[in-house]
């Protein structure tokens, strides 16, 4: 009958209100829904869930399954090499060796973190024996050119070395002064992982020293040489690595090298073995000492404690 349904509905509503009051009393429910990250709709849904047999246990907001933890989509530009290497290791373990995950790992670290550089030099000084910067090209992780300018050396050019550098007298008409180019390039390289082939020559031309733990020299990667079937200790040219591993020809013809092409090739080679190389570096690079500014556990005042004093000094003071 209608009266029976009304009583049944009333009892159901009464039980609903009792459960609601109990949850509010325990602080598990706010007037507009569950506390925490749940929406009001989620809170009401929890209220309508049947209780256990004894009628005393109600669902808790904090019992809602949390979303599966995923790796951060990016690293800060100042991320340490250790954290980068650990990031690669996590991604590699998540991938279970699948090539798809290995490719995905690079996507995570890509934005603004890596650049590849290549420089072309001309001869200055007595008999043109001194090498000075005449062109510098920088590409991003994708191989897109982000810097490519001709540079006027500080000393008069004695040998353009066109056969190798590709530089001619015509290029120097629109070249910028070395100091201006140096400032622009170093601004790009700051806080980056810099990739290159025999990259010490490029840094020398720039009169610059880049941190070793943020440098990736493709001429020094054993895994690349192994993959190419070449001796690990051999000095392998960028041209040979490109031919063996990328199946492309570079540095051909008599017009000299292209610094853009060489930088792009170095980045391609790095990406080919990126995850494996970074994982190996994680084990080979020494850990950086904690900074007292960023690490609260590194408190210098603790070294005043007796346990940090040499035993012979302790004995003499007694």
pLDDT over 70 at 85, yes or no: no
User: In this structure, are residues 158 and 125 in contact, taking their beta carbons and an 8 Å threshold?
Assistant: yes
Torsion of CA 177, 182, 185, 186, to 10 degrees: -160
What CATH superfamily is the domain 111-284?
Ribonuclease H-like superfamily/Ribonuclease H (3.30.420.10)
In which band, very low, low, confident or very high, does the pLDDT at 67 lie, cut at 50, 70 and 90?
very low
> According to the model, what pLDDT value does residue 282 have?
82
* 169, two tokens: 């007298």
> According to the model, what pLDDT value does residue 186 have?
97
Residues 6+ apart with CB under 8 A from 125: 155, 158
Of 24 and 272, the one with more pLDDT: 272
Mean predicted confidence (pLDDT) in 82-100: 50
Of 43 and 233, the one with more pLDDT: 233
> According to the model, what pLDDT value does residue 210 have?
95
pLDDT over 60 at 24, yes or no: yes
Mean predicted confidence (pLDDT) in 81-92: 54
Burial 198-226 (b: 16+ CB within 10 A, else e): ebeebbebbeeebeebbbbbbbebeebbe
pLDDT tens-place string over residues 215-242: 999 998 888 988 988 888 888 899 999 9
pLDDT over 80 at 251, yes or no: yes
pTM confidence score: 0.59
For the chain, what are the domain ranges? 111-284
Q: Which element (helix H / strand E) includes 247?
A: none
**C-alpha to C-alpha distance for 203 and 198, rounded to whole angstroms:** 10
Mean predicted confidence (pLDDT) in 28-35: 57
Q: Which element (helix H / strand E) includes 245?
A: none
> According to the model, what pLDDT value does residue 283 have?
79
CB hemisphere CA count around 107 (13 angstroms): 7
Using alpha carbons only, give the angle 254, 264, 262 rounded to the nearest 5 degrees.
30
> According to the model, what pLDDT value does residue 233 have?
85
Mean predicted confidence (pLDDT) in 302-317: 45
> According to the model, what pLDDT value does residue 287 have?
61
């Amino acid at each position: 009958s209608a009266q029976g349904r009304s009583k049944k509905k009333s009892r159901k509503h009464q039980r609903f209100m009792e459960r609601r009051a109990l949850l509010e009393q325990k602080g598990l429910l706010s007037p507009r829904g569950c506390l925490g990250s749940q929406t009001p709709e989620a809170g009401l849904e929890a209220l309508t869930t049947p209780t256990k047999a004894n009628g005393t246990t109600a669902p808790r907001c904090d019992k809602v399954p949390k979303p599966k933890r995923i790796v951060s989509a990016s690293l800060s530009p100042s991320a340490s090499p250790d954290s980068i290497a650990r990031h690669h290791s996590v991604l590699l373990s998540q991938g279970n060796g699948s090539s798809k995950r290995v490719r995905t790992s690079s996507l995570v670290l890509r934005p603004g973190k890596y650049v590849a550089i290549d420089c072309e030099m001309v001869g200055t000084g007595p008999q043109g024996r001194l090498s000075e910067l005449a062109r510098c090209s920088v590409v991003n992780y994708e191989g897109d050119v982000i810097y490519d300018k001709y540079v006027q050396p500080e000393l008069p050019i004695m040998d353009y070395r066109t056969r190798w550098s590709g530089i001619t007298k015509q290029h120097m008409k629109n070249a910028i002064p070395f100091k201006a180019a140096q400032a622009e390039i170093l601004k790009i390289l700051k806080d980056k992982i810099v990739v290159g082939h025999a990259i010490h020559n490029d840094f020398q031309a720039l009169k610059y020293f880049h941190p070793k733990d943020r440098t990736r020299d493709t001429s020094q990667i054993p895994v690349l040489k192994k993959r190419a079937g070449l001796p690990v200790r051999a000095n392998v040219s960028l041209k040979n690595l490109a031919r063996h591993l990328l199946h492309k020809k570079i540095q051909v013809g008599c017009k000299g090298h292209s610094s853009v092409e060489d930088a792009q090739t170095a980045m391609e080679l790095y990406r080919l073995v990126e995850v494996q190389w970074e994982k190996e570096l994680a084990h080979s690079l020494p850990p950086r000492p904690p900074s007292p500014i960023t690490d609260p556990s590194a408190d210098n005042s603790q070294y005043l404690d007796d346990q940090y004093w040499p035993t012979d000094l302790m004995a003499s003071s007694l």
